[in-house]
Structure 1
Amino acid sequence: MTRIGVIAISDGRDHVHRRNTGFIRSKVDSFIAALTAAGHDVISGGLVATNTTATAAARSVAAASVDVTVFYYGVWSFPHFTMLAADATTTPLLLVASTDPAEPGLVGMLAAGGALDQIGRRHTRLWGAPDDPALADDVGAHARAAGAVASLRGSTFGRFGGRPMGMNTAVANTDQWMRQFGVDVEEIDQYELVLRAEKADAAEAARGREWLERLATVHYDGAKLTPELLERQIRAYLAVRELAAERHLDFSGIKSQPELTENFATMDVAEALLNDPYDWNGPKTVHVTATESDMDGALTMQLMHRITGTPVLFADVRHHHPDRDVWDLCNSGQHATWFAARSGDPAENLGRVHLYPSVFFFPAGGASVAHFAAPGRMTLARLTRLDGAYRLQLVMGEFECYDDATNTALAARSTPEWPHAFTRLDVEATVFLRGFGANHIHAVPGDRRRELRVAAELLGVRVEEWTR
């Protein structure tokens, strides 16, 4: 739930303010009711008609830890009240005007917005009838984006291992992360995972194995995938959770290759479970975790997760099927099992999941977590860097799922033991391949471009958006 502060700005002349009070209150009350009905927690700062109340109202709203502050204009309003209130809050600002022609609310917003422009205070302007659901939806999108961005500041990324297989796009500058996003990086050697996994609760790991055997289809082969290897992977999951709690990690990345995949086990099961909203003990918090310790991938995922509250897809851009104009987004086990059906019931998701013995890339063995992502409209995005500067690359797409024979045939053309999201992107393949700045991409359900655009603006990141 987002928290939105609302302060109504009035005329500073006593007799005009007295005349307008009822009109302003009717508008702002209707606006607040629409926001509340949309599921937002609204903190009202009241009605401002003097210098002192402007500052006091803004400080009061700021003290409630709102995600975004709305200055509401139902009438002509003295602009310096806006300036004083803006100076008393550090949250993103929305100026919202009533479009009722009976009073000059638009004039008040424009005068206030121009004054803020003159001092360089960034803000966004919106307008409409106070009870218009589209206006409430727009304000909500800004609040979700602002809350997601604010949640990054002061957070910690747990980086297990260093650069994987020479992958430059998986490594970011920690100074730049702190300066631009407010995110610290805790470096943790992968050997710590091995040690913690060896000491993890054996009974708990057995419960996890039995849960997976009951709900998913496990293809033991007696060599690359055995009950013992599956429990080792589950103990690695328990180790990451223990370390995340102990070191207060907000999100993580695991290098895995080649040290763990050649000497311990793949991290596929651990990463899938960490990104899922459940395990054998019931519902749990998603702990965003990127494979190959992909820092910018994890940061993108954390931002998208904070906006949506859902798990976030992590995948390689593996293959384009030109005859279908469909991409195979596929990466070893990294897809959260939630994407198999996107159901709140783990049994429904895991009923579509197969645990296969790991392929030749990973001699240490363990399970790969395979499924076909459920169909639906998706927002796909990735924070990438061009000459050191961050950009948010953004595109809509459609996950498609076919009959069993078609799914199997398409998966067999790449790596059938891995999860697949067959995706029709809203961009020409040549445009995408020439411009996309990484091998990993991320996705969440629905159209979340508006929130991501706002988040990018708040982070000082340029948006590079593709459409057909």
Structure 2
Amino acid sequence: MARIGVISISDGRPYVQEGVADFVASYQDQLVHHLTAAGHQVVVGSAQVTSNSVATSVAREVDAAEVDLTVLHYAVWAFPHFTMLAAGQLRGPLVLLSTIDPVQPGMVGMLASGGALDQIGRAHARLWGDSRDAELIDAIGERADAAAAVRSLRGATFGRIGGRPMGMYTAVANVDQWQRQFGVDVEEIDQLEIIRRAEAADPAEKRAGREWFERYATVHYDGAKLTPELLERQVGSYLAMRELIDEWGLDFSGIKAQPELTQYFATMDVAEALLNDPYDWRGAKVPHICATEADMDGALTMRLLNGLSGTPVLFADVRHYHADRDVWDLCNSGQHATWYAARSADPAENLAKVHLHPEVFFFPAGGASVQHIAAPGEMTLARLTRLDGNYRMQLMRGEFVEFDAATNAEMMDRSTPEWPHAWARLDAPAATFLSRFGANHIHAIPGDRRAGVRAVCDLLGITIDEFTGE
């Protein structure tokens, strides 16, 4: 959950403030209570803002607490210049929140203050209502979670392992633009580091990882493309990535893999799935966002979606449209986090639905493909793409659906059955999607999180390109 600042802006006339202070405090206390109950950390201004000096000092205190979002709270008429002074000390996003109690003109104070901010071009959002209303608290929370996701990018480092894969323009971004627009630095690391470190990794750890998969998933050894030695090499690649993440301070990453590693070493499917999962054989962990094919804009999208949801993020190719069932096959060479197999907090429940198959002919080096079918449920699907150099967020709602085993097998056989699949039904018509979508990779998180994605884009100044059923 996000860290939210709350500052109540009030009247500058001492005799008025004396009469309204308790009224302001009661509404502020109610707001803070409900935000805290929703799981947010709340930093409350040390005083109601009633003068120029208090406006700046209280705002500095709240800003110093490194909040993700500040709520400027209006329960009464508030001198608008107090808002302007406070906003000048607050570096993060602002929400102006008005009560709807007609006893006092809080709405008037919010509108006057918001208009003043408009005049100087200071972006902000406006909300109004009773904090006992769960929808209002959710709206503040969505905005705060979006602000936290955006804030987490500033000063972050992306590890690009290996460079551009197979000529994909959409997998490569301008590092200057990333630094200017998102505050993200890019560390270039050669794939040799994965090979070198994987070979030097602790044999006991590699064996432990292999045995964990053998115990909880179904491993289809064939003695050629998938052997215990190759699976341990893939586990070693995961251990190598963990070392690189720690040593280089990588906040998220992407691995090129194709064609060098997939032809001469092993596929990175196991490493990428484990990085994105909230667990490995040693127990629970925080997912590390990692995109296959070193897809930079894919990884950035995933990082933002993870910031909103806290869950692993699906990475997939838009592989095929089954027109007879109005279902898309979202499938990419084994990179789906195993969490998506059942979306359970228990790794064993997820891995029970996972098969490690020998890699297909595309990847002569061999190794395991991490195959499963994504569990059903409502999903938010999104992707940052660029139109004439400018970022846009392509966004839609959808759902993952499930079929019986025979239908699953028939549908998988049409593409690559050894790879993971998500059967996705999108709100957007197929013709609309195929004519507008700006990449071959797409990303998803559970639930309808479109409001949060819209808020992220508003904070970043990115255009929304939303796909609907029309």
TM-score, reference length from structure 1: 0.99
Question: How far, CA to CA, are the matches of 1:111 and 1:207 in structure 2?
Answer: 63
Q: Counterpart of 2:373 in 1: which secondary structure?
A: coil
Q: How far is 1:343 from its partner?
A: 0.3
**In the alignment, what sits opposite 2:50?**
49
**In the alignment, what sits opposite 1:32?**
32
Percentage identity across aligned positions? 67
Q: Counterpart of 2:67 in 1: which secondary structure?
A: coil
Question: How far, CA to CA, are the matches of 2:60 and 2:369 in structure 1?
Answer: 52
**1:14 to 2:14 alignment:** yes
Question: How far, CA to CA, are the matches of 1:245 and 1:176 in structure 2?
Answer: 25
Question: How far, CA to CA, are the matches of 1:283 and 1:254 in structure 2?
Answer: 23
Question: How far, CA to CA, are the matches of 1:129 and 1:279 in structure 2?
Answer: 44
Question: How far, CA to CA, are the matches of 1:430 and 1:128 in structure 2?
Answer: 41
**In the alignment, what sits opposite 1:162?**
163
Q: How far is 1:34 from its partner?
A: 1.0
Q: How far is 1:130 from its partner?
A: 2.4
**1:97 to 2:98 alignment:** yes
Question: How far, CA to CA, are the matches of 1:177 and 1:367 in structure 2?
Answer: 34
What does 1:234-383 align with in structure 2 at a 5 Å threshold?
Answer: 234-383=235-384
The Cα offsets for residues 130-178 of structure 1, whole Å up to 9 and x where unpaired, read as: 2211111100000000000000010000000111111110001011000
Question: How far, CA to CA, are the matches of 1:281 and 1:18 in structure 2?
Answer: 59
Aligned residues: 468
The Cα offsets for residues 168-213 of structure 1, whole Å up to 9 and x where unpaired, read as: 1000101100010000000001111101111011110000000000
> Quick one: which amino acid aligns to residue 41 of structure 1?
Q
* Structure 2 unaligned regions, length at least 5: none
Q: How far is 1:387 from its partner?
A: 0.4
Cα RMSD of the aligned pairs, angstroms, is 0.6
**In the alignment, what sits opposite 2:390?**
389
Question: How far, CA to CA, are the matches of 1:333 and 1:275 in structure 2?
Answer: 12
The Cα offsets for residues 201-256 of structure 1, whole Å up to 9 and x where unpaired, read as: 11100000000000000000000000000000000000000011000000110000
**In the alignment, what sits opposite 1:450?**
451
The Cα offsets for residues 60-109 of structure 1, whole Å up to 9 and x where unpaired, read as: 11111100001000011100000000001101000000011111111000
> Quick one: which amino acid aligns to residue 5 of structure 2?
G
Q: How far is 1:378 from its partner?
A: 0.3
> Quick one: which amino acid aligns to residue 382 of structure 1?
R
> Quick one: which amino acid aligns to residue 57 of structure 2?
A
**In the alignment, what sits opposite 1:135?**
136
**In the alignment, what sits opposite 1:5?**
5
Q: Counterpart of 1:48 in 2: which secondary structure?
A: coil
**In the alignment, what sits opposite 1:23?**
23
Question: How far, CA to CA, are the matches of 2:291 and 2:330 in structure 1?
Answer: 15
Q: How far is 1:370 from its partner?
A: 0.3
Question: How far, CA to CA, are the matches of 1:33 and 1:248 in structure 2?
Answer: 37
Q: How far is 1:336 from its partner?
A: 0.1
What does 1:52-131 align with in structure 2 at a 5 Å threshold?
Answer: 52-131=53-132
The Cα offsets for residues 361-386 of structure 1, whole Å up to 9 and x where unpaired, read as: 00000000000000000000000000
Runs ≥4 residues deviating over 3 A: none
Q: Counterpart of 1:300 in 2: which secondary structure?
A: helix
> Quick one: which amino acid aligns to residue 25 of structure 2?
R
Q: How far is 1:327 from its partner?
A: 0.2
CA contact (8 A) 1:34 1:132 kept: no
Q: Counterpart of 1:10 in 2: which secondary structure?
A: coil
> Quick one: which amino acid aligns to residue 55 of structure 2?
A
Question: How far, CA to CA, are the matches of 1:158 and 1:166 in structure 2?
Answer: 19
Q: Counterpart of 2:48 in 1: which secondary structure?
A: strand
Shifted more, 43-52 versus 291-300: the winner is 43-52
Question: How far, CA to CA, are the matches of 1:156 and 1:141 in structure 2?
Answer: 25
* Structure 1 unaligned regions, length at least 5: none
CA contact (8 A) 1:384 1:393 kept: yes
Question: How far, CA to CA, are the matches of 2:208 and 2:97 in structure 1?
Answer: 53
Question: How far, CA to CA, are the matches of 1:424 and 1:374 in structure 2?
Answer: 13
